[in-house]
Amino acid sequence: MLILFLAWLAFSLTLINVLTVRMIKNLPAQISDSVDLLIPMRNESRNVKEVLDSVMKSKGLLNFNIYALDDNSFDDTGELISKFPVHKLSGRTLPEGWLGKNFACQQLSLAGDGQYLVFLDADVRITENAVSSSIKKMQDLNWDFISPYPRQLSGSFIENLIQPLLQWSWLASVPLRLAERFPNRSMTIANGQFFIVKRSAYESIGRHETIKSQVLDDLELARALIAKGFKGAVADGSKVAKCRMYQNGSELVSGYTKSLWKAFGGILGTFTAVGLLVGTGVLPLLAFNSAYLLIVFSRVIVALKVKSNPIYALLHPLSILLLCYLLALSIVKKRRGTLQWRGRRVN
């Protein structure tokens, strides 16, 4: 009965959230405030052209600058950036106590003086109205930050098993409108792939320096803003942004093991999360319980919302088992001190 209740709860939350989540529409908007678009890049030669092409086509921004930072790449990222009419920065040597992306974002934030900072990962592609319509949504809601969650693209089989869990996980577990009304750390959702914040709010929390060693930089940045009383939340950005985080299974395993050890807090949080995921996502199938169908339906609803392939919802138990494996691998590597990302050790 408990499993069935939890499945009903996940399904109900998913349905409510899908119907009420803030959405960024690809509509024209005029933004007169100054905007800095900030793109950290480390060994991103395959992404330089497409991401800069998409960003340079941005419309509705009357005063904006694009800054791209070559974070000590050992491929031709820096040379490729130089071919574009953007402000190119050369990353400084990574200081002790900092993680690479956090330090790159810190340097980018200091390069300009825009009233809005738009942090964008190199593997994200945005529409021409993505930034202006997102900032317009912030202004309409009187928010200090917004995290438009891009549509997650998948190619390989393992990507199709894991990537859809990203959006489903928070749509099925966090009452989004309630979280907006009563913001707190446990219900904060954010995605650093596409994150916009007012400079005044960002600087008041100490920029990225306040989260310099945090592997879940996006969540911790949003939590730091919420803790200081600033307003903001996640939004459905699938109509204005898309991202393929990994190109194959090997990259996915490396990417997830880098940070999954931190995803659920401490040991208690990890065991609780695994129990809920296995209890609602694997055991119902083994027992031919209707809870399995509720979870699958919740996955299908999210897939249709964000335009991913709903067929993989049927393989939800396999997705959960694979996620649990990645979680265990991440914890083991963390304890052994062997976690790495883009040629750097993750402490």
CATH of residue 73's domain is: 3.90.550.10
Question: For the chain, which residues score pLDDT lower than 70?
Answer: 286-288, 347
- 318 and 232 share one domain: no
The pLDDT of residue 264: 81
Examine residue 345 and state whether it is found in any structural domain, yes or no.
no
Amino acid at 217: D
- 239 and 276 share one domain: no
Owning domain of residue 89: 21-243
- 88 and 207 share one domain: yes
Last residue of a domain, one of 243, 264, 288: 243
- 225 and 95 share one domain: yes
Contact 69, 89 (CB under 8 A): yes
- 171 and 284 share one domain: no
Last residue of a domain, one of 243, 271, 291: 243
Last residue of a domain, one of 187, 219, 243: 243
The pLDDT of residue 288: 61
- 195 and 256 share one domain: no
Q: What is the DSSP letter of 207?
A: G
Please give the angle made by the CA atoms of 99, 103 and 106, to the nearest 5 degrees.
Answer: 145
Examine residue 341 and state whether it is found in any structural domain, yes or no.
no
- 69 and 121 share one domain: yes
The pLDDT of residue 286: 65
Residue 155 C-alpha from the chain's centroid: 18
Q: What is the DSSP letter of 92?
A: P
Question: Rounded to whole angstroms, how far apart are CA atoms 119 and 106?
Answer: 10
The pLDDT of residue 6: 85
Structural domains counted in the chain:
2
Examine residue 346 and state whether it is found in any structural domain, yes or no.
no
- This prediction has a pTM of 0.94
- 124 and 38 share one domain: yes
- 284 and 261 share one domain: yes
- 169 and 272 share one domain: no
The pLDDT of residue 67: 98
Question: Rounded to whole angstroms, how far apart are CA atoms 207 and 96?
Answer: 17
Q: How far is CA 296 from CA 17, 40, 225, 264, 303, in A?
A: 16, 37, 34, 23, 10
- 93 and 157 share one domain: yes
Question: Rounded to whole angstroms, how far apart are CA atoms 94 and 100?
Answer: 7
